[in-house]
Amino acid sequence: MLDPALLRGHLADTARRLAARGYTLDTAAFEAIEAERKRVQTETQELQNLRNTRSKAIGQAKAKGEDTAALMAEVAGIGDRLKANEQALADVQERLAALSLGIPNLPHESVPVGGDEHANTEQHRWGTPRTFDFTVKDHVELGAHKGWLDGDAGAKLSGARFTVLRGELARLHRALAQFMLDLHTQEHGYLECNVPLIVNSDAMHGTGQLPKFEEDLFATQVGETKRYLIPTAEVSLTNIVRDDIVEADALPLRMAAHSLCFRAEAGSHGRDTRGMIRQHQFEKVELVSIAKPSESFDEHERMTRCAEVVLEKLGLPYRRMLLCTGDMGFTATKTYDLEVWLPSQGTYREISSCSNCVDFQARRMQARWRNPDTGKPELVHTLNGSGVAVGRALIAVMENYQNADGSISVPEALRRYMGGAERIA
């Protein structure tokens, strides 16, 4: 959620900055509803004030044993008027909230302006894609060996975009997650967390999945209670500080979790249907930082580096992209994507996304810290990044480390998690 003061005081400028990311803010509608809100709220508060003072007078009169009939008559009509006003206020505030909750974050000034991914700018590359002296196979062909990667079984059990992993490949997948979590918790200073995969509606509103993107989520309903499967552990980790006031010396609060993620992938029909690039269920090691506002952009660089180190230790060539205004997610003010080299596609594919959301999620969550300079609770900044997507990392390892005979070499960093194995075959 944007700062309401920004919308009230700098509406035209805010609309212009939102337009850079392809969002059209209906300023006339906003101004109309905001004017109504102000009028109704002022009226309501005046009525409440009147009722309070009159009621207090009645109490004092009764205490003195005086007759209260005149006072009672005076206050008679207030109740109904007040009730009507309070209802009107609730209505207008609900409409205002619906509008506000649907407005995306403002892009940071360092973000290039552009409509889609073609305007993203490459920041740097690491590693050199390997040259093969045989015809490379993609991960689906490699995975067909020994039933390692079985899309048909996944479809039988659940439908499209589900996969069964078996044998040494399943073990390699697990090794990747273990390796990443160990790296971030033991070397990068993140606190290991194990979090709920099913969360309530408040949590989904806090990090911005709701109310706008419900169709992207899997939901559960038990009795009257509707809950949602997390599309990323960002939801669980970030909402830990919802409604909290964090002490200054606890910041930055760095948390990491290995979790399952569930995405409905509505609107992705036909994209990446082959293999396990885009699944309804996948695993990810997620990094979340809760930071002081003055430190969040430094923290963003640091977090992105933590993700890059994963790929470097795995020996996977990648590049860092700075997303343009039109390609960023709803909550982000600035996002770096890491793209890993996939030999079968001859291109780089997204494997991590690291975003600074500044106070956008914090305002929705009422997540604050106590600023020692002011003594007041102020909104924190929240950041999240994949460090990294486990399923896509598996694909990258399979394809980049494949051998002519269809076996797959195990990257040095993973061998201790694979009982020392140098290759799987």
Tell me if residue 353 is catalytic. Answer: yes
Tell me if residue 392 is catalytic. Answer: yes
For binding to RNA (CB under 7 A), which residues are involved? 4, 38, 41-42, 44-46, 48-49, 51-56, 58-60, 62-63, 72, 75-76, 78-79, 223, 225, 366, 368, 376-377
Give the shortest CB-202-to-RNA separation in angstroms: 10
Residue 317, burial from CB neighbour count under 10 angstroms (0-12, 13-18, 19+): buried
Q: How far apart are CA 132 and CA 143, in angstroms?
A: 19
Question: Token pair of 381, please?
Answer: 């900044």
Tell me if residue 407 is catalytic. Answer: no
Asked if 172 and 148 touch (Cβ cutoff 8 Å), the reply is no
Give the shortest CB-244-to-RNA separation in angstroms: 10
Is residue 352 annotated as involved in ligand binding? yes
Q: Which is nearer to RNA, 223 or 267 (CB)?
A: 223
Residue 50, burial from CB neighbour count under 10 angstroms (0-12, 13-18, 19+): middle
Tell me if residue 423 is catalytic. Answer: no
- Which pairs count as long-range contacts for 109-115, CB under 8 Å and 24+ apart, including other chains? 110/322, 110/334, 111/322, 111/323, 111/324, 111/325, 111/328, 111/333, 111/334, 112/322, 112/324, 112/325, 113/20, 113/324, 113/325, 113/326, 114/324, 114/325, 114/326, 114/327, 115/22, 115/324, 115/326
Is residue 86 annotated as involved in ligand binding? no
Q: Which is nearer to RNA, 19 or 35 (CB)?
A: 35
Tell me if residue 39 is catalytic. Answer: no
User: DSSP code of 10?
Assistant: S
Report the DSSP beta bridge partners of residue 337. Answer: 321, 353
Angle between helix 390-400 and 296-314 (nearest 10): 40
Give the shortest CB-172-to-RNA separation in angstroms: 27
Question: Token pair of 280, please?
Answer: 């309804």
Catalytic residue among 21, 171, 254, 263: 263
Strands 245-246 vs 368-370: parallel, antiparallel or unpaired: parallel
Q: Which is nearer to RNA, 110 or 225 (CB)?
A: 225
Catalytic residue among 259, 289, 344, 353: 353
Give the shortest CB-325-to-RNA separation in angstroms: 27
Give the shortest CB-256-to-RNA separation in angstroms: 22
Is residue 214 annotated as involved in ligand binding? no
Catalytic residue among 254, 283, 392, 409: 392
Is residue 350 annotated as involved in ligand binding? yes
Is residue 254 annotated as involved in ligand binding? no
Q: Which is nearer to RNA, 367 or 390 (CB)?
A: 367
Asked if 266 and 214 touch (Cβ cutoff 8 Å), the reply is no
Question: Token pair of 46, please?
Answer: 């005046």
Is residue 353 annotated as involved in ligand binding? yes
Q: Which is nearer to RNA, 41 or 201 (CB)?
A: 41
Q: Which residues are annotated as a binding site for ATP?
A: 263-265, 350-353
Q: Which residues are annotated as a binding site?
A: 232-234, 263-265, 286, 350-353, 384, 386
Which residues belong to the active site?
A: 263, 278, 350, 353, 392
Q: Which residues are annotated as a binding site for L-serine?
A: 232-234, 263, 286, 384, 386
